């Protein structure tokens, strides 16, 4: 370390106190303290580092932006900005309460070590228990102008060459480490877990080594038993010409995807390039909400990885020249699925209990707005499938409109159907025999470090297999309005999917979190089935009589150590207070649905909308909740496309509260409150959120909405602002 060398040489290293707007131009030690320095404006840095050969040792000091009790989406600004230079290092910093913890640009030789960058910005999620909102979907496709900055990050690197990111922790934010146009950086022994977006994201980032990291529970868009979409969250994102990276020995479990690799818009438009020649070795991508590994339009190697309990073990659409070797796929509905793939090798893998182990296919119709198939032959062909073991699959291989597939030396144990073929499968050469008897259990998975492709493990590194006692399984993924629950603090969790939709009546909750005892300390607006118990109990909350559900229950926990959602860490035996709050105000919606056509198109200027209202309604409804989200209509007589809605209703809001109206819409919406237009988003748009204040008392609301085609989302409700 530079500071250690300077000390050895007898050079003086100053100890300094942080002040707002500080610019650091030489190696220093920060005087240990808690520095509460909010960003002066939304996108500005608090501390700047400029120059060469600089090491800043924070010595455990904490740099705090937003107050601890501020909502996570109120964390603004940049904690530390590194502006260019060579051989720049930051160590032992605690940076929290900002949109971006550390931002480094145009640095050659960057070292970030042993920093805690947890509890920075993340957005509120509008999907809930048993209910998805499309407004939560992410899109990382464009980042030529650093568009990813809007998503926040613990660490954001832009145009960095060479260096080390080691021993850092980033939890309870949206994104961990984002690397843009960054190369030859070694990322290891970090913990980027329990994030609501990405653990790590790479964009035009090449020749990096990502090894021995824990990147678990980076997820959104999941409610066990209700929906499992992931909404493009992932443990690791490799995007837009991110090539020649080594990804090895990482734990990347319970993500939206484990690995999400995409060639990028350049390839989609031109057919050239890709995120190519990455080595993905010895990682655990289990229990992904969607795909353990998604790798598309590119050429890569996937060797010795574990994927258990994902929807797809590996989705490889349009992959070409790729190697899928010595991996273990367990209990996935589909092990390996590749559409429009070419010249891929699937060799020496174990498929254990997958419903369909391998599916290969080609679709004659491809999206008309893709340039890729206009520049390339995208027929499915040229597979070598050899030396794999299939145990207990319903179907080992489904080959559809795929030419020149050769099967050699595969073994089949307890497989219902070996081969299922359809379409043009010219050149299909298959194994002629079925293995007899029962297979011996497949060996417990460990990274195959004697494999010729195995990268050399780093000295002092953590291993990816989870230690004994760590929770595994998709059922351990629990997501609230701020992201994945980390089980570090006690709380009450609804026991059944239906509970989230109940406006009236008792609701069952399970007490989850660190072990210990709990007791009710205060209650407003509801009664509890019992006043005390132990973690793991199920209790029933019964709201007070009345039209509105509005309760606030406070509890005390005592037992194992608790880390609060704001990061405050307690000790075993310390009392810890936590709350359960719920508000639901029913409307008396009168809903009329009308069809429209080219004459009454609500998007066009003129009186087309009113003309549609003059026709007979195709559906008339009375509802207490206005909450529609679907790709195909779920309501009688409501069409899939080209319809409009007029909904009028009233709601009674208690006097002792601050309220807001939220509206989520796709395609167009207008909302009036007490005959005053408060939301006007009439231009067609993807799912978008609007929020306006509501006064207590009886409020009259009118909603006008139209849908063109595609997904429908229409949601209007009243909420307490402090819940």
Looking at the structure, tell me whether residues 643 and 707 fall in a common domain.
yes
Is 565 domain-assigned? yes
* Segment 655-661 mean pLDDT: 93
Domain boundary pick from 561, 581, 601 = 581
Residue 723's pLDDT band, with cuts at 50, 70 and 90, is confident
Looking at the structure, tell me whether residues 601 and 690 fall in a common domain.
yes
Residue 45 above 60 pLDDT?
yes
Looking at the structure, tell me whether residues 562 and 491 fall in a common domain.
yes
Helix, strand, or coil here: 500?
A: helix
User: What helix, strand, coil percent values describe the chain, rounded to 5?
Assistant: 5, 45, 50
Question: pLDDT (tens digit, 9 = 90+) per residue, 689-717?
Answer: 999 999 999 999 999 999 999 999 999 99
8 Å CB contact between 587 and 703: no
8 Å CB contact between 49 and 99: no
Q: Give the per-residue pLDDT at 451.
A: 87
Question: pLDDT (tens digit, 9 = 90+) per residue, 49-71?
Answer: 999 999 999 999 999 999 998 99
Q: How far apart are the C-alpha atoms of 345 and 323, rounded to whole Å?
A: 5
Residue-range definition of the domain harbouring residue 640: 589-720
Is 166 domain-assigned? no
Is 287 domain-assigned? no
Is 572 domain-assigned? yes
Looking at the structure, tell me whether residues 692 and 647 fall in a common domain.
yes
Strand 86-91, strand 54-57: pairing: parallel
Is 606 domain-assigned? yes
* Segment 362-381 mean pLDDT: 91
Residue 330 above 90 pLDDT?
yes
Looking at the structure, tell me whether residues 609 and 573 fall in a common domain.
no
Domain CATH for 534? 2.60.40
Looking at the structure, tell me whether residues 560 and 602 fall in a common domain.
no
Question: pLDDT (tens digit, 9 = 90+) per residue, 67-101?
Answer: 998 999 999 999 999 999 999 999 999 999 999 99
Q: Give the per-residue pLDDT at 499.
A: 44
Is 204 domain-assigned? no
Residue 474 phi, psi (nearest 5): -60, -25
Question: pLDDT (tens digit, 9 = 90+) per residue, 611-621?
Answer: 889 899 999 99
Looking at the structure, tell me whether residues 601 and 563 fall in a common domain.
no
Residue 3's pLDDT band, with cuts at 50, 70 and 90, is low
Residue 112, strand partner residues: 90, 165
Q: How far apart are the C-alpha atoms of 561 and 647, rounded to whole Å?
A: 50
Domain CATH for 699? 2.60.120.260
Residue 642's pLDDT band, with cuts at 50, 70 and 90, is very high
- The DSSP line for 546-589 is SSSEEEEEEEEEEES--B-TTS-B--TT--EEEEEEEEE----E
Total domains present in the chain = 2
Is 616 domain-assigned? yes
Residue 284's pLDDT band, with cuts at 50, 70 and 90, is very high
Q: Which strands sit side by side in the sheet containing 350-352, from one edge to the other?
A: 306-308, 328-330, 350-352, 389-391, 411-413
Residue 302 above 70 pLDDT?
yes
Looking at the structure, tell me whether residues 712 and 688 fall in a common domain.
yes
Residue 7's pLDDT band, with cuts at 50, 70 and 90, is very low
Strand 161-166, strand 34-36: pairing: unpaired
Looking at the structure, tell me whether residues 523 and 640 fall in a common domain.
no
Domain boundary pick from 581, 606, 640 = 581
Residue 468 above 90 pLDDT?
no
Domain boundary pick from 520, 547, 581 = 581
Looking at the structure, tell me whether residues 544 and 615 fall in a common domain.
no
362 Cβ neighbours under 8 A, 6+ residues apart: 339, 340, 378, 379, 380, 400, 401, 402, 423
Looking at the structure, tell me whether residues 708 and 599 fall in a common domain.
yes
Q: Average model confidence (pLDDT) for the chain?
A: 92
DSSP 6: H
Question: pLDDT (tens digit, 9 = 90+) per residue, 235-283?
Answer: 999 999 999 999 999 999 999 999 999 999 999 999 999 999 999 999 9
pTM for this prediction: 0.94
Looking at the structure, tell me whether residues 606 and 674 fall in a common domain.
yes
Is 463 domain-assigned? no
Q: Give the per-residue pLDDT at 554.
A: 98
Q: Give the per-residue pLDDT at 131.
A: 82
Q: How far apart are the C-alpha atoms of 621 and 104, rounded to whole Å?
A: 55
């Amino acid at each position: 370390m530079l500071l250690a060398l300077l000390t050895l040489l007898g050079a003086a290293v100053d100890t300094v106190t942080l002040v707002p707007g500080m610019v650091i131009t030489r190696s220093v030690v920060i005087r240990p303290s808690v520095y509460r320095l909010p960003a002066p404006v939304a996108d500005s840095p608090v501390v700047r580092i400029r120059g060469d050969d600089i090491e800043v040792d924070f010595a455990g000091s904490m740099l705090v932006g937003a107050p601890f009790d501020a909502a996570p989406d109120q964390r603004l600004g940049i904690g530390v900005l590194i502006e260019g230079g060579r051989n720049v290092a930051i160590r032992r910093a605690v940076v929290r309460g900002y949109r971006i913890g550390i931002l480094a640009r145009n640095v050659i030789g960057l070292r970030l070590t042993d920093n805690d960058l947890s509890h920075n910005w993340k957005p509120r999620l509008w999907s809930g228990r048993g209910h998805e909102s499309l407004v939560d979907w992410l899109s990382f496709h464009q980042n030529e102008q650093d568009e990813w900055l809007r998503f926040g990050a613990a660490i954001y690197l832009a145009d960095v060459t060479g260096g080390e990111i080691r021993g850092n922790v980033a939890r309870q934010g949206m994104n961990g480490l984002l690397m843009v146009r960054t190369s030859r950086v070694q990322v290891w022994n970090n913990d980027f877990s329990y994030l609501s977006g990405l653990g790590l994201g790479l964009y035009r980032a090449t020749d990096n080594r990502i090894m021995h990291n824990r990147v678990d529970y980076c997820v959104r868009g999941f409610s066990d038993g209700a929906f499992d979409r992931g909404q493009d969250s992932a443990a690791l994102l490799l995007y837009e010409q991110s090539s020649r990276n080594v990804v090895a020995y990482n734990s990347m479990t319970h993500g939206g995807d484990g690995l999400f690799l995409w060639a990028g818009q350049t390839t989609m438009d031109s057919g050239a390039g890709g995120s190519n020649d990455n080595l993905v070795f010895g990682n655990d991508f289990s229990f992904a909400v969607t795909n353990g590994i998604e790798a598309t339009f590119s050429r890569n190697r996937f060797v010795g990885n574990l994927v258990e309990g994902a929807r797809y073990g590996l989705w490889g659409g349009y992959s070409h020249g790729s190697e899928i070797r010595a991996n273990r796929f367990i209990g996935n509905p589909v092990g390996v699925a590749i559409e429009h793939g070419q010249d891929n090798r699937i060799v020496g893998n174990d498929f254990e209990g997958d419903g369909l182990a391998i599916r290969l296919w080609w679709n004659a119709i491809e999206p008309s707005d893709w340039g890729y198939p206009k520049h390339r032959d995208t027929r499915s062909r040229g597979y070598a499938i050899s030396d794999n073991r299939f145990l207990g699959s319903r179907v080992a291989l489904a080959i559809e409109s795929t030419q020149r597939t050769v099967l050699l030396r595969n073994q089949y144990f307890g497989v219902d159907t070996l081969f299922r073929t359809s379409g043009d499968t010219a050149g299909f050469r298959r194994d002629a025999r079925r293995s007899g008897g029962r297979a011996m259990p497949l060996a417990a998975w460990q990274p195959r470090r004697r494999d010729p492709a195995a990268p050399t493990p780093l000295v002092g590194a953590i291993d990816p297999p989870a230690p004994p006692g760590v929770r595994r399984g998709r059922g351990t993924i629990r997501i609230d309005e701020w992201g994945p629950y980390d089980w570090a603090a006690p709380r009450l969790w609804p026991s059944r999917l239906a509970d989230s939709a109940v406006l009236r009546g008792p609701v069952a909750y399970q007490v989850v979190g660190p072990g210990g005892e709990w007791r009710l300390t205060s209650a407003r607006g509801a009664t509890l089935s019992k006043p005390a118990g132990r973690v793991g109990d199920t209790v029933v909350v019964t709201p007070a009589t009345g039209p509105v559900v509005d309760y606030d229950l406070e509890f005390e926990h005592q037992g194992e150590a608790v880390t609060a959602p704001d990061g405050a860490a307690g000790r075993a035996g310390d009392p810890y207070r936590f709350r359960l709050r719920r508000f639901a105000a029913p409307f008396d919606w009168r809903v009329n649905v009308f069809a429209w056509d080219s004459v009454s198109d609500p998007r066009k200027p003129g009186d087309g909308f009113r003309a549609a209202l003059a026709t007979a309604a195709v559906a008339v409804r009375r509802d207490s909740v206005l909450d529609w989200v679907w790709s195909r209509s779920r309501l009688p007589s409501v069409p899939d496309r080209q319809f409009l809605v007029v909904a009028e209703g009233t709601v009674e809001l208690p006097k002792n509260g601050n309220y807001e109206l939220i509206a989520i819409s796709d395609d167009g919406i207008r909302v009036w409150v007490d005959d005053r237009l408060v939301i006007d988003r009439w231009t067609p748009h993807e799912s978008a959120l609007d929020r306006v204040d509501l006064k207590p008392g009886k409020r009259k609301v009118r909603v006008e909405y139209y849908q063109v085609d595609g997904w429908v989302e229409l949601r209007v409700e009243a909420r307490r602002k402090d819940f």
